[in-house]
Structure 1
């Protein structure tokens, strides 16, 4: 398979005016129609809920739409002919502590006053100790291709869906606890999560939202003194860590693996039922009576997956474990594990120390997306006619063009380029190649290009701009700079300040670098959550220069000790 990253770097000129092949544009699947029922229930200007007893979730739609596992127990087993198993969370053993909370999620999505999170009731509800009113907890059955191979049944091994909540804006969100104990899908796991992985999930899902990348959300992080045993790097060195639970939300947790397990097991009627549900609930632009609806659905997923991975690349994000069971059907970022934000620009960057072959290196993410979409097509084959399968293959062939077009658009925006000029692709590719050869910082190089004036660029005045100083050491920097400054000079319709503001709005000054997360985790493990709180605050406004972030060195050259950090799948 041709490397899409190679195509980007060496052939960006070919991206100009590319038209997606057989793929339909549609409103992002997170945009939902408001519910008239709940409009009448809520006055949009009403006060937020002050009492958790007012808060209700419902599992009715999920339970009534699908067959449920015949056995109602948490022991590990092979499950057939269902989408969900009923499974009760295992309460964290106390004492419990609220380590972090997202006010934006609590008040903006869940409709209750953030002050409620300081109560013992909230600690219990958000850690699995008590069930929310209306909740009938479910564990989702799915399978997946892991590191390129079919792994069979996987499922929610340590996550419990509490139910759906329809907020006063008419949005439907599915609440889930992660780290809340064993389910029928836990295999040899204990169903727990530890502080280090939970801090990372909480911070990164909220940071990605603020970066404008489609993602699940995190409402809270609760930690306990419950001992959890982990072999972090799979080297036989087991150590005791502390348990934690994240309350997270998504419009849906269905993923490619949700369909794969049904197709692989020959459960075609259930496959069709799940597809119909997903389309009716989350792809409302598709006519449910359309005989081509599964093909149109596939077209949407191909399109949006290409867009999502392009957005990952535009902020230097590497997911770390791009298995089919971690790829959302709604094309949002889910299941944060050994992710990483690239520091020095390097297409071979691998955030997951368990990924020995570099399958999920950052430069391979687009190719992996293509692989996963191929597996999705295989899963859909039982419900597609031969003609539709051929059309779906044509749709899939358009994926590379869509991805390249979107990458081209995003990187043009990062460089502040308006309109379309013949050399735009060359300017982008030239810059990336120089960044790779000088090991220039990905985030800060683009940010400093946003902050430097054209005059300073022309004069190569990069005082206090460490990333641009690194870049300017390249032997061909002057050649690239001349091309770039000339290109900017053709944009006569705007002034310098306007160009800088546009670039600052797409080039973050702060991302969740591994060393920043690690520093917060080390403190959190000693019951100091001040840096978790600080990072959450800073990363909620990643495009704005903040004094406290500058003092903490979040936009400075990464410390030397950060180069030794490793992140694994163990959590």
Structure 2
């Protein structure tokens, strides 16, 4: 197993001078050196060949003893020094101070095909940032992260990747519902892959401590390697950096909205400077179209991170990043302009995205009205978001309103509720939609092909992941493998997986792990 190792982060940024691996405040440092804990009996459950190839590994490598040992944390690769990053963050809108990699250990950076990737283990033991945690992860959360990382990538959503899912052979104590009923679960490790794991919080911590020297060092490092297109100097360089991060974050949020994904924990320490989805905890896809839904039980009361609020939270998080970068700029106006533009740009990109989902090319007052009326209609009764948009492409512009309705009615959870005023409202919207289709020049087939490229047929619904988890806890990984293969091609028809193109079953409506989840992992 040969990898082209690079260590830019550890070579160029200040390290923690204290070597004791105990929870503590780490100052004037971007990271602390720390070794993964030796797992008792590691076992590879699943590896992603596509990700292996991305970093320069072959299929044979993934079956090797070296692969198992390195990516379970059992061995440290020669000429590498694993480390945990120091960062801070706002959690649920409140300043939390130092956080850091409490369950993550960065192994090394590799270069392959002129691209750089950081490889990181999640669940490999405690670090100076673990606080009261043990640094481990359990099988259920690790399966969810491994599957979701790859599902999101193939949906076309910006994300970290997952190279491998492994059992540690150790038991981990967890209180799933935070209700005092802790129990032991199978420990597991995921190897995550990203350009870097630098977050908004990496800048926040130095700004909060008024350590402007190290704030400048890490910002310059980030721009040098991850935003090399920025050629300006002085404060303009940092303004351009903030604008680029804002734009990348915007693209990610629009894609979340496109596929119905809800992150669940959009704290600033979970926001990547690359604009990629990071830290898959209590996430979920919308079953019925409900802008107020959040998958996070911790967020049940205030629903801060609900589906419909994600754009505003992204903007709020960017405000915190702007505050952190301000000492390098010493001028608020350009940062404020970028933040104010965020909501305007979002509205434009959101409407364009929704037009694409509807197969509508023209953008005017009439088509905007069609979009906003639809988002209201989808809430009249429980309507499966994924199925609705996928079935919508089957409508032909020559169809009657009644025929069009027949083609989408399988998306409704309780069809008997779609009557009287609700039915009239749907017929009215379908009339507007059919009229618009007849105004446009696309043939039915051209429009269907275009719509099916942005409206997935298959997403990783929570109940599906939970079924795979239940089987995996019994040592059966067949369903995990099946879901993984299906999620590699979410926009294809894949008739052999048709059973997964279905509404959430009633038994999953309130089952733990199928409707909502805690942060416990």
Q: Smaller-chain TM-score range?
A: over 0.9
From 103, 106, 111, the equivalent of 1:161 is 106
- Indicate yes or no: 2:188 matched with 1:249: no
From 133, 140, 164, the equivalent of 2:85 is 140
Aligned to 1:422: 365
Query: Per the alignment, in what secondary structure is the counterpart of residue 398 of structure 1?
Result: helix
Equivalent runs, 1:357-376 vs 2, <5 Å: 357-376=302-321
Aligned to 1:266: 210
Aligned to 1:509: 457
Quote the Cα distance in structure 2 between the aligned partners of 1:165 and 1:445. 42
Q: Following TM superposition, by how much is the alpha carbon of 1:298 offset from its aligned partner in structure 2, in angstroms? A: 1.1
How many residue pairs get aligned? The number is 510
CA distance 1:55–1:302, shift in 2 (3 Å): closer
- Indicate yes or no: 2:347 matched with 1:407: no
- Contact between 2:122 and 2:190, CA under 8 Å: does it hold in 1? yes
The TM-score normalised by the length of structure 1 is: 0.87
Q: Deviations over 1:466-487 (max 9, x none)?
A: 1169596533111111110111
Q: Following TM superposition, by how much is the alpha carbon of 1:163 offset from its aligned partner in structure 2, in angstroms? A: 1.2
Query: Per the alignment, in what secondary structure is the counterpart of residue 429 of structure 1?
Result: helix
Considering Cα pairs closer than 8 Å and 6+ residues apart, tell me whether 1 or 2 has the greater RCO. 1
Q: Following TM superposition, by how much is the alpha carbon of 1:84 offset from its aligned partner in structure 2, in angstroms? A: 0.7
Query: Per the alignment, in what secondary structure is the counterpart of residue 126 of structure 1?
Result: helix
CA distance 1:132–1:453, shift in 2 (3 Å): farther
Q: Following TM superposition, by how much is the alpha carbon of 1:56 offset from its aligned partner in structure 2, in angstroms? A: 4.0
- Contact between 1:197 and 1:337, CA under 8 Å: does it hold in 2? yes
Q: Deviations over 1:114-133 (max 9, x none)?
A: 13222222111111001123
Q: Following TM superposition, by how much is the alpha carbon of 1:134 offset from its aligned partner in structure 2, in angstroms? A: 2.6
Quote the Cα distance in structure 2 between the aligned partners of 1:464 and 1:309. 27
Aligned to 1:275: 219
**Structure 1 runs (4+) greater than 4 angstroms displaced:** 468-473
Quote the Cα distance in structure 1 between the aligned partners of 2:400 and 2:9. 57
Query: Per the alignment, in what secondary structure is the counterpart of residue 500 of structure 2?
Result: coil
From 324, 346, 353, the equivalent of 2:290 is 346
Equivalent runs, 1:106-185 vs 2, <5 Å: 106-107=52-53, 109-167=54-112, 169-185=113-129
Quote the Cα distance in structure 1 between the aligned partners of 2:265 and 2:286. 15
Aligned to 1:495: 443
CA distance 1:485–1:154, shift in 2 (3 Å): same
Q: Deviations over 1:179-213 (max 9, x none)?
A: 01011100000010000000000000100000101
Aligned to 2:518: 568
Equivalent runs, 1:468-547 vs 2, <5 Å: 470=415, 473=419, 474=422, 475-492=424-441, 494-547=442-495
Aligned to 2:18: 71
Query: Per the alignment, in what secondary structure is the counterpart of residue 460 of structure 1?
Result: helix
Quote the Cα distance in structure 1 between the aligned partners of 2:80 and 2:395. 53
Query: Per the alignment, in what secondary structure is the counterpart of residue 297 of structure 2?
Result: coil
Query: Per the alignment, in what secondary structure is the counterpart of residue 321 of structure 2?
Result: helix
Quote the Cα distance in structure 2 between the aligned partners of 1:133 and 1:75. 25
Quote the Cα distance in structure 2 between the aligned partners of 1:249 and 1:318. 21
- Contact between 1:280 and 1:288, CA under 8 Å: does it hold in 2? no
Runs of 5+ unmatched residues, structure 2: none
Quote the Cα distance in structure 1 between the aligned partners of 2:321 and 2:497. 42
Query: Per the alignment, in what secondary structure is the counterpart of residue 379 of structure 2?
Result: helix
- Indicate yes or no: 2:392 matched with 1:449: yes
- Contact between 1:327 and 1:333, CA under 8 Å: does it hold in 2? yes
Query: Per the alignment, in what secondary structure is the counterpart of residue 292 of structure 1?
Result: helix
- Contact between 2:293 and 2:306, CA under 8 Å: does it hold in 1? yes
Quote the Cα distance in structure 1 between the aligned partners of 2:407 and 2:13. 62
